[in-house]
Amino acid sequence: MMHYRGRVFRPPFEENSLLLEATVGCSRDKCAFCSLYHDTPFSPSPMEDIESDIRFIGRNRTRFKRVFLVGGDPFTLPFKRLRRIGELVNECLPRVETIGCYASVRNVLAKTPEQLNELAALGYSGLNIGFETGLDDVLAFMDKGNTVDEAREAFARLSDAGIPFTLNLVMGLAGAGRGIENALANAAIVNEAQPQLIIVTALNVWPGTKLHDYVEAGEFAPPTLREIIEEEAAFLRATECNDTFFFGMHELNPVRVNGNLPQDCDFLADELEAGIARFPEHQLDAPIRQIMR
Ligand code: SF4
């Protein structure tokens, strides 16, 4: 029997991965737009449970090719714990080729280049990072816990170690009137970082978040639906990716597209702009509050 103590969230691309709980909750749990782990205090999973789960799966001769460590940001675990998990996976699950997890910029910067090299050699690959925005003032306002330059440093360290990564971006996070500015800032960082995968999600103002309070207090003006779609299209047109998959199919996204960059770049942007016509004007130009209720 596997040990799961917390809620399990995973990226859509991990549907065939072994979901192995390594942490419960998020070590930060402060980002203004996020309430995912408010009811789940952070704690590392006991190493005995992790080892027991890996050995249990190993005894059952399953065919998993990838392990995805579950929790808000399992890469926050100390290097030695991540190394031990990697060693156990290699020992007990010989078919597994890669190990991924959610990770923050701070989690990456807490590891030395040598440690990242060692984790890469153990199979760590495809880290899923909440980058959110390339604007420093927005990162600070949203209490993300890192600056743009720190993010750039983290992405460079991962690339140097040969650890591919996914960047998550939130369309509309800079608020009303700043969509194009956000798009260009995001594209500049993405062009430098060359992630394996980009996942974009439209901003939603969830009840129970600090962002919800900011909106109620008039301290944050949410963008309109039109601005969110135009921001995504502008972002795509400004990207210069060598080989990146773009995933914009999240259920929060008003127009859903995905494809390969650079070849599908203009097509995807055209689709987004054409999608604007599907909405009535009164919806397009009203500030989003909460798309899903
Ligand atoms: S956005 Fe990510 S890092 Fe921030 S609180 Fe939510 S799960 Fe934690």
Same domain, 263 and 206: yes
CA torsion sign for 248, 152, 226, 140 is: positive
Residue type, 76: T
Using the mean position of ligand 1's atoms as its centre, give its distance from the Cα of residue 28 in Å: 6
| Atom 4 of ligand 1, residue of closest alpha carbon | 31
The verdict on residue 134 lying in a domain is no
Report the share of the chain in percent with pLDDT over 70: 98
Last residue of a domain, one of 79, 110, 127: 127
Tell me the pLDDT tens digit for each residue of 67-116. 999 999 999 999 999 999 999 999 999 999 999 999 999 999 999 999 99
The answer as to whether 109 is a domain residue is yes
pLDDT at 76: 98
Helix (H) or strand (E) holding 155, with range, is: helix 148-161
Domain shared by 65 and 114, yes or no: yes
Give me the domain span that covers residue 18: 1-127
* Most ligand 1 atoms within 8 A of CB, residue of 27, 31, 104, 170 to mutate: 31
Is residue 143 domain-resident? no
| Mean pLDDT for the chain overall | 95
Instruction: Check residues 293 and 281 and name the one with the higher pLDDT.
Output: 281
Q: Alpha-carbon distance 53 to 75, whole Å?
A: 18
In a domain, 168, yes or no: yes
Number of domains making up the chain: 2
Q: Does position 197 have pLDDT exceeding 90, yes or no?
A: yes
Using the 3D structure, point to which of 78, 104, 127 is the last residue of a domain.
127
Residue 292, pLDDT > 70, answer no
The CATH number of the domain holding residue 32 is 3.30.750.210
**Whole-prediction pTM:** 0.95
In a domain, 142, yes or no: no
Residue 293's pLDDT is 44
| Same domain, yes or no: 168 and 118 | no
pLDDT-above-90 percentage for the chain: 92
Please indicate, yes or no, whether residues 123 and 170 belong to a single structural domain of this protein.
no
Bond from prior residue into 262 cis (ω within 30 degrees of 0): yes
**Based on the domain organization, do 171 and 283 belong to the same domain?**
yes
d(CA 49, ligand 1 centre) in Å: 24
Chosen domain end from 127, 149, 178:
127
- Same domain flag for 122 and 174: no
**Cα–ligand 1 centroid distance for 47 (angstroms):** 23
